[in-house]
Structure 1
């Protein structure tokens, strides 16, 4: 049997002679000889470009700013409650959700906290040091403005607004614990209920507030971005209107009948002259009520960048600094003016409170007081040899 394809073996079939044009084309396309290519040293290794800075979420900055405005307004309304049932109703309604909203956001942004060195340093410089400085400053302010030279400096007994810094420090340190337990929110609620019926806890570090507000922080730790999106739609915004209106009507009815101290979460039930079991009932009921109102509040928060969005980064400045004016207004009898206790006076006072707290959150104020709020303090911490070696490389 013969093959259809002839086998030429090792024989070479001569190619036809190349034309001059073909030789020119081959010469042009051929790579240069290896000897003609100069040897080059490898290019130096380029450092990777730094990762772009993570942008802040406008929704949360807007929420923090509006929450701190409500804090200031609530403090402005407090002396008006006795003479105005409407002011008392507004005060109760705002106090039912403004600090829970702030604490939930604080918990949400504490999700990544662990015992890593840099995060512990930020906790010390951003929370513990401001607490020490402002607790001391508030004490000297009270001695001078209230003519009380014997008022003691006590870091174990937070005065006025500084309780939040103590609470945030403790909550954040316990974050790893809430990440490993199976039912963190029910456990935190159980702790809050136990605190509300335990008058022996005392006033050290304002532990009643730390423990009774704890469920809101733990809830924030367990929330995800999609949970906030559930209330950020048109249907939720519309539903929030009758809910908030109903809350205001209920507050108007309850103002002369209810002890507003329940909203401060700083006392056990027995200290409010109520039966012990009412502490458990009120803690659970107010937790549910606060969550509903917080959801309504979040539903109305715009998610786009606005003129006030940048102020959300300075809310702690406004919170701590406005305390001097809030307390000074009582020490210096500013509320003795009769016009403040009229409807127009209350409106003007509300606008003043909103304007002052806004100014205290602005970047110029942040630059002036950054030494107290966000001190660098590199000198106070040991150098990280691993981090230094990474930086040199």
Structure 2
């Protein structure tokens, strides 16, 4: 897919709350990261990278296309649900707005510019304009997350947030006039997943990890993969990309709302199955879950450049051995890009402090 969906959710920075601690009391320690969610984010970003590696291999391979559509049905919804879950505390306070700007908006500006310059070279389009209104490639997720998080207080005040979000998504699918500004089709069509995340509580994730749910998830995932294989010559997987209206996909307008509901139900079943099998304990890759935004944005340069550099030109790459090799290479590359050394190098672009650009919080001034 030329424009993924999914992508990786920015990680909130945690710092000890030591300001204003009463004398004699020990300062609070920063909350420990939840291994379950870090594991989920890492596994999801690996699926994202694999999907991009499979994209040039789909032509002529029904199996690769089936895996591709299967993964795209749930990996971005999973990321977005988790992003919504961790956005529950967003209240529009100065500290939260600062974190949103430095952790989401600034990386969007930096990487939108970087991808434009890079694709001018790889795509041979030297006059491609740098614009912040038409997100290029992976950057759509950042601007979507920015918009979703800003609207969090609204969804927390609405009586029926998920039905309202679904209605908005359904209306977007019958509105081809929305256009490409800020990739609003994706922003609106993926909105229900974010809102669902806002509605979830820790007990919901504990329910998913029961052994009965895990046992049921195995045949469900296997059946979904079989359906995906059956559907390859019969329907387009573009419905799972959520970037076009029904009319733009060559379907009657009334297909849009129906496919919105069907796609949401299908994706959430697969997300539940995926999350049920995510390990809850700390493993060798758990720490990488804190760097999924790095892996998400940086691996796109390799995915974009792979065709320019001719990595998919040899005939053997389009056979079983090549498909397995591309899958393993993608998983390895995105894993490396999530590691601490890479994060240290690119932190200035991904998580800039930018204290100079913000006023100090009045409460912080009183405590200092």
TM range (shorter): over 0.9
Deviation of the 1:339 alpha carbon: 1.0
Deviation of the 1:82 alpha carbon: 1.2
Two-structure CA RMSD over aligned residues (Å): 1.0
Deviation of the 1:390 alpha carbon: 0.4
Deviation of the 1:238 alpha carbon: 1.2
Q: Which position in structure 2 is the counterpart of 1:80? A: 57
Q: How does 1:228-267 map to 2 (within 5 A)?
A: 228-267=205-244
Paired residue secondary structure (2:312): helix
Q: How does 1:315-334 map to 2 (within 5 A)?
A: 315-334=292-311
Q: Which position in structure 1 is the counterpart of 2:286? A: 309
> Separation in 1 of the partners of 2:103 and 2:70?
30
Q: Which position in structure 2 is the counterpart of 1:116? A: 93
Deviation of the 1:179 alpha carbon: 0.4
> Separation in 2 of the partners of 1:46 and 1:239?
54
Paired residue secondary structure (1:54): coil
* 2:271 equivalent to 1:294: yes
Deviation of the 1:46 alpha carbon: 3.4
State whether residues 95 and 361 of structure 2, in contact with CA within 8 Å, keep that contact through their aligned partners in structure 1: no
Deviation of the 1:212 alpha carbon: 0.2
Paired residue secondary structure (2:367): helix
Q: Which position in structure 1 is the counterpart of 2:197? A: 220
Q: TM-score, normalised by structure 2?
A: 0.93
> Separation in 1 of the partners of 2:122 and 2:57?
21
Q: Which position in structure 1 is the counterpart of 2:165? A: 188
Query: Aligned pairs, how many?
Result: 347
Match for residue 285 of structure 1 among 241, 258, 262: 262
- Structure 2 residues not aligned, in runs of 5+: 1-21
Q: How does 1:30-179 map to 2 (within 5 A)?
A: 46-179=23-156
Q: Which position in structure 2 is the counterpart of 1:38? A: none
- Partner deviation per Cα, 1:35-69 (whole Å, 9 max, x = no partner): xxxxxxxxxx8353210210111000000000000
Deviation of the 1:79 alpha carbon: 1.1
Paired residue secondary structure (1:154): coil
> Separation in 2 of the partners of 1:151 and 1:263?
28
Q: Which position in structure 1 is the counterpart of 2:12? A: none
Deviation of the 1:357 alpha carbon: 0.4
- Partner deviation per Cα, 1:234-285 (whole Å, 9 max, x = no partner): 1111111110010011000101221121111000000011100011111100
- Structure 1 residues not aligned, in runs of 5+: 1-44
Q: Which position in structure 1 is the counterpart of 2:15? A: none
> Separation in 2 of the partners of 1:354 and 1:386?
44
Deviation of the 1:354 alpha carbon: 0.3
> Separation in 1 of the partners of 2:179 and 2:294?
29
Q: How does 1:365-384 map to 2 (within 5 A)?
A: 365-384=342-361
Larger radius of gyration: 1
Deviation of the 1:146 alpha carbon: 2.1
Deviation of the 1:101 alpha carbon: 0.2
Paired residue secondary structure (2:360): coil
Q: TM-score, normalised by structure 1?
A: 0.87
- Which runs of structure 1 show a deviation greater than 6 angstroms over 4 or more consecutive aligned residues? none
Q: Which position in structure 2 is the counterpart of 1:8? A: none
Paired residue secondary structure (1:334): coil
Deviation of the 1:336 alpha carbon: 1.4
Moved more, 228-237 or 176-185: 228-237
Deviation of the 1:333 alpha carbon: 3.0
